[in-house]
């Protein structure tokens, strides 16, 4: 029997025995929202870790189909930086964020351009998410800015986009902007070998993203070491420049 099938069968049997014995599944651990960023000193725009690069010029292009639409996403680490100041537990923390631009097309039409702000914690190797500016497009015209937020404004605080160490079972907030953006991540699998049009990648990790603002929504992302995002809900990496 295939190891994954055997493991699933064993877990299912254990769950059935537990149910028969009147045992209940323990609640899942909470998602971390307190990161002690004061230990980082100043959050810096340069660096990154094996799954998330802040190197200017780093480029990813993903393509695929979702809900019947042909999607293209391009992610580019820009040379731009942005200072951001926020409070954590009453202490002011300074960040110099790197700007990463993401452009998305649906059926050949530009639908969104976002400028995301990330910084590196040299103490932990974490990449910190500090906010984003969003332009929503329709017929080539900006029609909104949905999901925009910035740490330090309107109660928003930074989250993690990628910890310095990938630990199975880790659960944490990626964004913490009340009523606007509350994306969360859970580490569910590692050591994966994934083939995409851009090549075969080893030692990849899988992350499941959810949000209490969209309780029934779930997003699957896969990251490859030295590259970054290679799979995002059905769209796959087709080109990259490390």
Domain locations in the chain as residue ranges: 30-181
Instruction: Over range 119-144, report the average pLDDT.
Output: 97
Q: How far apart are CA 232 and CA 115, in angstroms?
A: 18
The better pLDDT of the pair 75, 19 is held by 75
Say if residue 99's pLDDT is above 80.
yes
Question: Model-level pTM?
Answer: 0.87
Cβ atoms of 65 and 71 within 8 Å: the answer is yes
Instruction: Considering only CA atoms, give the Rg of the chain.
Output: 19
Question: How many distinct helices (H) and strands (E) make up the chain?
Answer: 1, 17
Say if residue 94's pLDDT is above 90.
yes
What is the structure's pLDDT at 67? 83
Non-local (6+) Cβ contacts of 2 within 8 A are none
Local confidence band at 26 (pLDDT 50, 70, 90 cut-offs)? low
What is the structure's pLDDT at 21? 52
Q: What is the pLDDT of residues 140-149, one digit of tens each?
A: 999 999 999 9
Q: What is the pLDDT of residues 65-85, one digit of tens each?
A: 988 899 999 999 999 999 999
Displacement of CA 147 from its chain's centroid (Å): 15
What is the structure's pLDDT at 25? 59
């Amino acid at each position: 029997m295939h190891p994954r099938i055997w493991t699933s069968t064993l877990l299912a049997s254990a769950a059935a025995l537990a149910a028969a014995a009147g045992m209940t599944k323990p609640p899942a651990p909470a998602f971390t929202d307190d990161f002690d960023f004061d230990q980082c000193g100043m959050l810096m725009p340069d660096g990154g870790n094996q799954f998330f690069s802040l190197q200017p010029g780093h480029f990813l292009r993903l393509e695929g189909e979702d809900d019947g639409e042909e999607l293209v996403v391009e992610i580019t680490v820009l040379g731009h930086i942005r200072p951001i100041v926020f409070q954590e537990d009453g202490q002011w923390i300074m960040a110099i964020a790197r700007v990463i631009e993401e452009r998305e097309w649906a059926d050949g039409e530009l639908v969104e351009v976002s400028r995301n702000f990330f910084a590196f914690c040299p103490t932990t190797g974490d990449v910190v998410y500090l906010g984003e500016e969003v332009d929503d497009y329709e017929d080539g015209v900006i029609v909104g800015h949905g999901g925009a937020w910035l740490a330090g404004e309107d109660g928003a605080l930074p989250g993690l986009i990628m910890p310095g160490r990938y630990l199975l079972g880790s659960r944490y907030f990626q964004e913490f902007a009340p009523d606007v953006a509350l994306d969360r991540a859970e580490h569910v699998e590692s050591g994966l070998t994934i083939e995409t049009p851009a090549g075969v990648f080893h030692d990849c990790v899988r992350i499941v993203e959810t949000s209490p603002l969209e309780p029934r929504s779930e997003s699957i992302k896969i990251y490859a070491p030295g590259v970054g995002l290679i799979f995002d809900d059905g769209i796959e990496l087709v080109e990259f420049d490390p």
